[in-house]
C-alpha cells in the first residue's frame, strides 16, 4: 500500500509576505507541509521540511511557494509535495467619506502542490455587511443587517495579488466593513447598505460574476456565511466556477 | 508549598439537566473537576472524580452540584473541591407573531466549590439583537444592527432557574433572536429593533437593573459583546454588582 | 449563473442517534443543511429546513438521513440537497485488565447528499496512543509517546455502525485511550504501547488495511495527527483508497 | 448605575515587541481595550482607542503599556483603562546535543490597567513534556508521557523579560519541547524524560518554587494541563502565590 502523504501540521512561523506595493509585510503563519515519500518517514524528513521553511520565510509569495515545494520534493526524492499556509494579512483602508486610514486584517491562505497534481490556490476571507431585502421590503422602518464573511478561493494562470482579490470581494456586498469610521463615514455605510439590500446568494453571485471576468482566474469557488442578526444560526450560500 | 488544586479538565459526558417544567433535559456537558488534596494526586483520585460524576450525571441541577462536590471532598478528604460544567441548553421559543415554536440553544455553565470558599455560580450566554442609536440618528434610512451575545453570571440565595435568567436577558436588548421566524415575525422584530436602539452599554445597564431587582440574586456580572456589522471588531461593555 | 447551494449553517439541536445495540442515544448535533434551489432563497426555504429537521431529530441514523434529504428536496423542488451533522457519540468502554467501565466520547459526523451527486459518508475521530519506534530504538530507557487522533471517513454499500468503525480504528495503534484506568490497566497500556511502537504512517496503513478488508466499505480516507510530546507541532499522515 | 467599562474586543494588529536582546520582534496581536467612562460610549471613544494603538504598535513592551493606557485615560477623561494583548512570541532555541537552531513559538499576553486598580501582568504558555512516575514505576518497560502546557502569570516589581519567564518554565518539567531535533537530540530528550518522571502537580510546584525565588516577581499563578497519552481528558494542577 502506497502512502499518500506524511508531514508536519500546524507549525507557527514568522513570515514576510510580498505586497502588491512591492514591499514586504511581516506576519505570522500557521503552516502544514506534506510529501509523498516512498520509504519510511523519519527524522531526516522533518529536518528537511523545517530547513526549507526557514530558508524561505523571509520572502513568501505564491511564486516562491513553487520553488520551496520543488526543493522539498527534490531533497526527499518525493513524488509530490504539498503546503498550506494561513496567515492574517493587513491592508490600510480609508474610511469612505473622511478618508481616515486604519489597518484591516484579512485571513488569507496559500495552498500549493507540486508533483503529479501540480496546483496552486489563493484564498481570502473578507468581512462585509449584508442587509436583508425581505426584511426591508416588509418593514415600516429599518432592515436587519449583519456582518457576513465571504470566502473566495481561486486558481490562476497569470499572477493575482491578495489586494486585488480582497478589493473584488469588498465591492460585491451591501456595504464594506472597516476598522475605524467617523460619524460621516458611519452615516454613509448605513445608508449605502440600506440602499443596497442583498441576500447571501446575491453576494455569492456578484462575487462569482467579478471572478469570472478576471482574466487571471481560471477556477474559483465562493461561499458567504452571514451571521444573521435575528437568528442564532448563519445563512449560507456557495457556488463554484463549474456551475456557471 | 501547598497545592491549590489538582484534577481533570475537559471530560465530556451526557448529562440530564432538571428543567423548570420539572422534566429532565438530555444534553452533553464538558466538565472540569478539581480538589485541594494534601497528598500526592494518583490514580485513586481520578477514579473518584469519574465515579462521582457517573453517579450523578442522570439528574443534574445546581442543588445536586453541592451534594456531588461534598462527596468528592469526603472521599478524597480534600479541604475543598471545585466543579465547572458547561453545556448547551435548549428551550422551545415561540415566534412573536405567528407563535411558531422552535428550539433555541443557549450555552450555560454551572460553577461550584465547597470547602473554604463555598460558592455557586450560574452563567448563561444569550444571543440578542443590538441596533445602533447613533447610526439611526444620523442616517436617512436604516440603522446598522447585529447579533450580540450577553453573558450573565449570578450568585444566588434562593433558587434560580436557567429559564428565568435567559428570559431576563432576552427582554433587555433592541430585539430578541429566534431559530425560526415567518414573514410577519420578521417584520415584527425588524420594526421592534428599529424602535428600540441600544448601545452595548445600554443593554448591560438594562440587564443589571433587572438582575438587581431579582430577589434570589445577591451578586452578578454582565457583559455584552456586539459583533458590529460595520466593523471587524466587537463592541464590548461590562458591569458587575459591586459597581452599583 | 446557477447557484450551487443555499442553506443554514451551524444550527444546534438535540438528536437521538440509533445505536448498534438497538437503543437510542441522546446527544447534541451541530447541523448544516443546504439545497440547490432554482429560485430565490427566502423565508419559506429556512422554514422547510427547520421543520424537516424537527420532524426527524428523535431518531437519526444514516438510513433516515436519505429520507430527510429526499423530503427537503421534494418540498423545495430542489435539484439536490446536502446535510452535514456533527455530534459527540458516547460508548461504554471497559478497561483492558480490571474491566472497569467508563464512557468514552468520540466526535462523529454524518454527511449526505441526494440529487445529482447522491452520496453518504460516515466520519469518526478516535483518540489513540502512538509510541515512536525511532525514539525507542535509540534510547537507553523509555520512548516518547503521545495522544494522536485518527480520522476515518468511509462510503459504504451495506450498513456500517459507528461502533464498528471506532472498534476498527482502536485496534490499529500502539495502544488505546480510555476515560478511566486503574493501576493494573495503566501498567497494561504502558507496556502494550512500549511493545508496539508505530509512526503515524504505520497507523494510517494499518487502519487502511482493515478498512480495505471490510466488505461494507467501498471508499475511505484515513488521516492521523499525532500531538508529539517532544515537539510543538503535530506529525501527520494521510491515505485514501484511491492510492491502494 | 455606574458602568465598569466599555471598549473594543478582538482587534488584530501587527505589533513590534521589544526583545531581551534589545531588538524588536514583529508579530501579530489580538487586542482588547476598555475604559471606565462616565458618559455615553460613542464614536469618539473608539477612535481614541484605535488612534492610541496605532501610535504605539511599532514598539510594544510592558513599559510602554503603562504609557499607552495613561494616554487613553487622559484623552477620554476615564477613571480607569485596561488593555489585554495576546500574541505569538518567537525565540530561537538550540537542540540539546547537536545545538541545531530552530524557532519556537510561545503564546504570550500583556494585561494592564491604570486608574483605581493599577496592575500589570505578564503571561506565558510554554509546552513541556511530562512523564508519569506511576506508569514508570509499575511497568516492565516504558512510561506514558505527553505534551503538557504550563501557564505562568506574574505581577512584578522590577522588570521581567518574556525570555526569562519562558526559561524558568522550561527547566521545570520532565523534559523540554523543541521545533527541530536530530537523532542524538531525540535520544537525549527521551532519556531525560525517562530519568525525570513528574506528575502535573510536581511541575506546578517546581515552577512555583522558581517563581518564588525570582526577585522581580511579587505575585504569580501557575497551572499545568497535561494532554494525557492514555486518557481522552487532561490532567490539571494549579497553584498561586497566596497558597505558599
Q: What is the ipTM of this complex?
A: 0.91
Q: How far apart are CA A183 and CA D23, in angstroms?
A: 40
Q: What integer is the mean pLDDT of A3-29?
A: 90
Q: How far apart are CA A96 and CA A182, in angstroms?
A: 10
Phi, psi of D81 (to 5 degrees): -145, 140
Smallest CA–CA separation between B143 and chain A, in Å? Answer: 6
Residue spans of chain C under pLDDT 50: none
Q: What integer is the mean pLDDT of B173-179?
A: 96
> Do residues A210 and A150 both lie within one domain?
yes
- Counted domains in chain D: 2
Of B9, B236, B244, the CB nearest to D7: B236
| Residue where one domain finishes, among candidates D42, D68, D85 | D85
> Do residues C79 and C124 both lie within one domain?
no
Is residue D163 situated within a structural domain? yes
Is residue C96 situated within a structural domain? no
Q: What is the pLDDT of residue A38?
A: 65
Q: Angle C162-170/C200-213 helices, nearest 10 degrees?
A: 140
Q: How far apart are CA D120 and CA D83, in angstroms?
A: 10
Q: What integer is the mean pLDDT of D214-225?
A: 95
Domain carrying residue D48:
1-85
Q: How many CB atoms lie within 10 A of CB C183?
A: 17
Q: How far apart are CA A139 and CA B183, in angstroms?
A: 10
DSSP C38: S
Q: What are the pLDDT digits (tens) for D90-118?
A: 999 999 999 999 899 999 999 999 987 78
Is residue B105 situated within a structural domain? no
Mean residue pLDDT across chain B = 91
> Do residues D244 and D133 both lie within one domain?
yes
Q: How far apart are CA A145 and CA B102, in angstroms?
A: 22
Interface size, chain A vs chain C, as Cβ–Cβ contacts under 8 Å: 119
Contact B92, A197 (CB under 8 A): no
pLDDT category at A214 given cuts 50, 70, 90 is very high
Q: How far apart are CA B11 and CA D234, in angstroms?
A: 8
- The grid coordinates of residue D28 equal 501579530
Residue B207 C-beta-side C-alpha neighbours within 13 Å: 37
Contact B125, B214 (CB under 8 A): no
Indicate whether B178 pLDDT > 80.
yes
DSSP A179: S
Interface probe for C, chosen from A133, A238, A242 (most Cβ of C below 10 Å), is A238
Which residues of D fall below an 8 Å CB-CB distance to A? Answer: 11-14, 25-28, 43, 46-47, 50, 54, 88, 90, 102-103, 105, 179-183, 186
Pick left, alpha or beta for residue D10 (phi over 0 → left; psi -120 to 50 → alpha; otherwise beta). Answer: left
Dihedral, CA atoms, B20, B21, B22, B23, nearest 10 degrees?
Answer: -110
CB contacts, 8 Å: B209 with chain D: 1
Is residue B96 situated within a structural domain? no
- The grid coordinates of residue C189 equal 497500556
Indicate whether B39 pLDDT > 80.
no
Smallest CA–CA separation between A25 and chain D, in Å? Answer: 9
pLDDT category at D194 given cuts 50, 70, 90 is very high
> Do residues A58 and A144 both lie within one domain?
no
Interchain CB distance below 8 Å, C230 and D186: yes
CB-count exposure of residue A221 (10 Å: 0-12, 13-18, 19+): buried
Indicate whether A81 pLDDT > 70.
yes
Q: What integer is the mean pLDDT of B160-170?
A: 96
Sign (positive or negative) of CA dihedral D211, D212, D218, D220: positive
> Do residues D122 and D8 both lie within one domain?
no
DSSP D233: S
DSSP A196: S
Q: How far apart are CA B190 and CA A141, in angstroms?
A: 8
Q: How far apart are CA D109 and CA C18, in angstroms?
A: 46
Location of C-alpha cell 523545517: A50
Q: How far apart are CA D180 and CA A13, in angstroms?
A: 13
Indicate whether D233 pLDDT > 80.
yes
Interchain CB distance below 8 Å, A105 and D12: yes
> Do residues B141 and B233 both lie within one domain?
yes
Q: What is the pLDDT of residue B241?
A: 92
Smallest CA–CA separation between B181 and chain C, in Å? Answer: 8
Q: What is the pLDDT of residue A3?
A: 62
Is residue B61 situated within a structural domain? yes
Interchain CB distance below 8 Å, B194 and A233: no
- The grid coordinates of residue D201 equal 502537580
Q: What are the pLDDT digits (tens) for D135-159?
A: 999 999 999 999 999 999 999 988 8
CB contacts, 8 Å: B232 with chain A: 104-105, 127, 147, 177-179
Q: What integer is the mean pLDDT of B128-152?
A: 97
Which H or E run contains B184?
Answer: helix B183-195
Interchain CB distance below 8 Å, C139 and D187: yes
Which H or E run contains D236?
Answer: strand D234-240
> Do residues A71 and A127 both lie within one domain?
no
Contact D42, B133 (CB under 8 A): no
> Do residues D45 and D125 both lie within one domain?
no
- CATH of residue C241's domain is 3.10.270.10
CB contacts, 8 Å: A230 with chain B: 129, 175, 177-178, 181, 186, 189-190
Which residues of C fall below an 8 Å CB-CB distance to A? Answer: 1-11, 32, 34, 40-43, 46, 134, 199-201, 204-205, 208-209, 225, 232-240, 243-244
How would you label D16-54 residue by residue, b for 16+ Cβ within 10 Å and e otherwise? bbbbeeeeebbbbbbbbbbbbbeeebebebbbbbbebbe
Angle at C155 between CA C150 and CA C146, to 5 degrees: 0
Q: What are the pLDDT digits (tens) for B67-109?
A: 889 998 888 888 899 999 999 999 999 999 999 998 999 999 9
CA-based nearest residue to B91, from B150, B161, B147: B161
> Do residues A78 and A134 both lie within one domain?
no
pLDDT category at D59 given cuts 50, 70, 90 is confident
> Do residues B206 and B123 both lie within one domain?
yes
Distances (CA, A) of A136 to A91, B18, B188, C84: 32, 41, 12, 31
Q: What is the pLDDT of residue A40?
A: 56
Interchain CB distance below 8 Å, B102 and C180: no
Interchain CB distance below 8 Å, D201 and B41: yes
Indicate whether A144 pLDDT > 70.
yes
Is residue D194 situated within a structural domain? yes
Phi, psi of C20 (to 5 degrees): -60, -35
Q: What are the pLDDT digits (tens) for B59-74?
A: 777 678 888 899 988 8
pLDDT category at B42 given cuts 50, 70, 90 is low
| Residue where one domain finishes, among candidates A85, A107, A140 | A85
Interchain CB distance below 8 Å, D231 and C177: yes
Smallest CA–CA separation between D137 and chain C, in Å? Answer: 9
Is residue B231 situated within a structural domain? yes
In the three-class reduction of DSSP (H, G, I as helix; E, B as strand; rest coil), residue B192 is classed as helix
Q: How far apart are CA B202 and CA B206, in angstroms?
A: 6
Q: What is the pLDDT of residue D112?
A: 92
Interface probe for D, chosen from B237, B240, B242 (most Cβ of D below 10 Å), is B237
Q: How far is CA C104 from the centre of its chain?
A: 14
The residues near B242 (Cβ < 8 Å, ≥ 6 apart) are none
More confident residue, B126 or A58: B126
Is residue B100 situated within a structural domain? no
pTM (2 d.p.):
0.95
In the three-class reduction of DSSP (H, G, I as helix; E, B as strand; rest coil), residue A188 is classed as helix
Q: How far apart are CA C196 and CA B114, in angstroms?
A: 44
Q: Give the residue ranges of DSSP H helices in chain C.
A: 43-56, 62-76, 133-138, 162-170, 183-195, 200-213
Q: How far apart are CA B167 and CA B160, in angstroms?
A: 12
> Do residues C143 and C227 both lie within one domain?
yes
> Do residues C13 and C56 both lie within one domain?
yes
Q: How far apart are CA B117 and CA B115, in angstroms?
A: 6
Interface size, chain B vs chain C, as Cβ–Cβ contacts under 8 Å: 54
Amino acid at each position: 500500500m502506497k502512502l499518500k502523504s506524511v508531514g508536519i501540521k500546524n507549525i507557527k512561523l514568522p513570515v514576510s509576505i510580498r505586497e502588491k506595493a512591492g514591499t514586504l509585510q511581516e506576519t505570522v503563519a500557521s503552516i502544514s507541509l506534506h510529501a509523498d515519500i516512498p520509504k519510511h518517514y523519519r527524522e531526516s524528513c522533518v529536518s528537511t521540511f523545517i530547513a526549507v521553511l526557514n530558508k524561505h520565510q523571509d520572502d513568501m509569495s505564491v511564486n516562491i511557494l513553487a520553488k520551496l515545494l520543488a526543493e522539498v520534493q527534490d531533497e526527499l526524492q518525493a513524488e509530490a509535495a504539498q503546503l498550506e499556509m494561513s496567515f492574517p494579512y493587513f491592508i490600510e483602508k480609508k474610511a469612505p467619506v473622511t478618508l481616515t486610514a486604519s489597518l484591516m486584517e484579512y485571513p488569507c491562505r496559500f495552498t500549493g502542490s507540486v508533483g503529479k497534481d501540480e496546483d496552486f490556490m489563493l484564498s481570502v476571507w473578507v468581512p462585509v455587511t449584508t442587509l436583508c431585502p425581505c426584511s426591508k421590503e416588509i418593514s415600516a422602518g429599518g432592515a436587519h443587517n449583519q456582518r457576513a464573511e465571504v470566502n473566495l478561493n481561486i486558481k490562476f494562470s497569470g499572477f493575482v495579488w491578495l489586494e486585488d482579490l480582497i478589493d473584488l470581494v469588498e465591492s460585491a456586498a451591501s456595504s464594506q466593513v472597516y476598522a475605524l469610521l467617523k460619524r460621516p463615514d458611519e452615516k454613509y455605510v448605513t445608508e449605502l447598505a440600506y440602499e443596497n439590500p442583498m441576500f447571501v446568494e446575491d453576494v455569492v453571485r456578484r462575487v462569482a460574476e467579478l471572478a469570472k471576468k478576471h482574466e487571471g482566474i481560471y477556477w474559483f469557488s465562493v461561499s458567504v456565511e452571514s451571521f444573521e442578526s435575528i437568528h442564532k444560526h448563519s445563512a449560507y450560500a456557495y457556488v463554484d466556477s463549474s456551475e456557471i
